[in-house]
Structure 1
């Protein structure tokens, strides 16, 4: 049975996240349905994603691997999948890979980008968090520096520290101004449940003056209740890129929406 590597983008607004769930529409679920329709296979079809994005979160570069028995060449399978998928899911690339490749286990780094809008927008509401108060971007950058390194992010997640490690290597937290947008790009080894949204929520409150830069370190060492109340909305978050051994990140500006 061949294994395929897929590069998938999606608008997560209508979905209850990536992961298949009972009684909920998910990106993985719709992708599986499309594969079954195109290949005629109802058994032994498996799709694994590099990350489990939450409800309402989007992806520019989700990576998945697909196991399915088919004689369709990759280019044909790609075209037919996109014909079968809803318009808010698109497979950008599909290629055959060795069976040892695993989308989640082999990933060595992931990058998310969050879009904060400094103005109301009629078109980009599902893709930004509109923050009405003025933002001190330099203060946000100084606060972001406190989130870089190999740190314990237990206070920034709903994951149970008794069941999985909450230590995460965060390689960079970059904040870029693009007209009315403030883009917060976070790169790390992996990310915990709601971790990036809570990082963004804290940094925005530093930008508005509600929190001081030193509060970032205090919150990292806290019990998480205060941080949970600061969680940024899902709408502005995109899984931007996933990196595998031998690959490098594309560092060109990739803001999904321009709202000058």
Structure 2
């Protein structure tokens, strides 16, 4: 059975996540429809992980098994022409018959974009936090997640017999214009884990979460302390991106960059003409030679009357 590796990007705003769902649009559902419309019936399609509703992907990886082999260039072109505008196949390649997008992955990387200002262009790709944020405090808190920890308090209803132990291989916090970027790299992630970790980092950045509180949560010592309930801090899905899925032998992650940039707010340049006599309210700046000046205290000229044409 011919097997292919697909690398995809998508905007998750309009979808109920990756997984096919009855009576709801999903990323995998749209991909299946596109392949069938192109005449390539799918036997099996599986992603490296299930992104939640509203979550985006810069590079999701999936395995695809078809009934008949198809030239990869033709496959990619035919499917992209039938996919919605917010889903795109970046690359398609023939893979070993045993390739499995989830089981063969060694790590996943997620990016979260926190906006420090209101944005009219990137609203669906950020979480705008109104309070002032301290990136240094966020980075210090993020370092506390590195290593092997039980993330039971940072996930939503783990599946039966699913371990909540996760090895976080690295964290990174960086400033980029009007954004604070957060990167988390781990062997795998639990449901809503990234969004709750980011929520905790934002609380640390606003000064509302002490480092000891985070340590107690991870150690299972927080109990029912109302100040230590990560479920209450869950960040919205809009700012979350599956950045990349790592497989054996592939190059490491590159520098941390924004998925959708947001520039820092800047004051407009000083208007050098403000207050000058040749500045006419409601109009652009005119050449002073073309604008008659008047003495201070002089009455403004009376506007000319419009004469009605005769016969009208």
TM-score scaled by structure 1?
0.96
Are positions 1:45 and 2:43 aligned together? Answer: yes
Q: Which has the higher contact order (CA 8 A, sep 6+)?
A: 1
Pairs within 5 Å for 1:1-260: 1-41=1-41, 45-160=43-158, 163-220=161-218, 221=220, 222=222, 226-260=229-263
User: Do the aligned residues in 2 keep the contact of 1:15 with 1:56 (CA within 8 Å)?
Assistant: yes
CA shift, 1:90, in A, is: 0.4
Number of aligned positions between the proteins? 258
Gaps of 5+ in 2: 264-312
The change in CA–CA distance for 1:254 and 1:39 in structure 2 (over 3 A counts) is farther
Highest CA radius of gyration, 1 or 2? 2
Secondary structure, aligned partner of 1:32: helix
User: 1:53-91 CA deviation, whole Å, 9 max, x = no partner?
Assistant: 000000001000111123430001001110010000000
| 1:214-242 alpha-carbon deviations (Å, 9 max, x no partner) | 22112222458811010000000000000
Distance across 2 between alignment mates of 1:68 and 1:161:
30
Asked if structure 2 preserves the Cα contact closer than 8 Å seen for 1:156 and 1:227, the reply is: yes
Deviation at 1:160, TM superposition (A): 2.8
Distance 1:48 1:223 in 2: 38
- Give how far 1:124 is off: 0.3
The answer for unaligned runs of 5 or more in structure 1 is none
Secondary structure at the counterpart of residue 248 of structure 2: coil
| Deviation beyond 4 Å, 4+ runs, structure 1 | none
* Aligned-residue CA RMSD (Å): 1.4
How far 1:162 moved relative to its partner?
A: 5.0
Query: 1: CA distance between counterparts of 2:251 and 2:164?
Result: 25
Contact kept, 8 Å, 2:2 with 2:69, in 1: the verdict is: no
* CA separation of 1:69 and 1:178: change in aligned 2, threshold 3 A: same
TM-score, length of structure 2 as denominator length: 0.80
Query: 2: distance between equivalents of 1:40 and 1:235?
Result: 32
